[in-house]
């Protein structure tokens, strides 16, 4: 797994899933939860997570590497049962955070771009 690439491991039973939020996964997540990604992040960090949210997040985080085996929300729920809710929630939140732009990198790029002008 490569956190720099936004990949986070989740062990469920004998299998390790590679969770990653790509652009397509985030768009699917917005559709499933019927809210913007920025709202989803706020909701995830508010406090007590909802099971439905965890299941949607896990399902979408599996799209990049496990789309052929995690084809339904119910499949994601089975993974949560194997991994435990606590471990799943920690992994999907970490994967979400890893998908966000690095603010230090962005500010450095903006400074570099403004110097070029």
Residue 35, C-beta contacts closer than 8 angstroms, at least 6 positions apart: 43
Say what the pLDDT of residue 44 is.
Answer: 83
pTM: 0.81
- For residue 117, pLDDT over 70 is answered with no
| pLDDT tens digit sequence for 10-46 | 999 999 999 999 999 999 999 999 999 989 988 888 8
Backbone angles phi, psi at 10, to 5 degrees: -135, 115
Distance CA 50, CA 81 (A): 15
- Kindly indicate the confidence band of residue 6, based on its pLDDT and cuts at 50, 70 and 90: confident
Rounded (5°) CA angle 50-100-5? 105
112 pLDDT exceeds 50?
no
The pLDDT mean for the chain works out to: 86
Measuring CA to CA, which residue among 7, 1, 2 is closest to residue 97? 7
Instruction: List, in order, residues 6 or more apart from 94 with CB less than 8 Å away.
Output: 3, 8
Adjacent-strand bridge partners of 16:
11
Check: CB of residue 8 under 8 Å from CB of residue 1: yes
pLDDT of residue 10: 97
Higher pLDDT, 114 or 97: 97
């Amino acid at each position: 797994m490569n956190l720099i690439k936004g990949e986070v491991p989740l062990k469920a039973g004998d299998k390790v899933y590679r969770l990653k939020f790509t652009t397509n996964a985030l768009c699917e997540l917005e559709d499933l939860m019927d809210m913007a990604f920025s709202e989803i992040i706020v909701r995830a960090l508010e406090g007590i997570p909802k099971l439905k949210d965890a299941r949607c997040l896990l399902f979408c985080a599996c799209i990049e590497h496990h789309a052929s085996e995690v084809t339904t929300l119910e499949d994601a729920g089975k993974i949560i049962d194997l991994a435990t809710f606590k471990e799943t929630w920690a992994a999907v939140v970490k994967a979400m955070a890893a998908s966000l732009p690095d603010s230090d990198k962005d500010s450095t790029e903006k400074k570099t771009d403004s110097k070029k002008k």
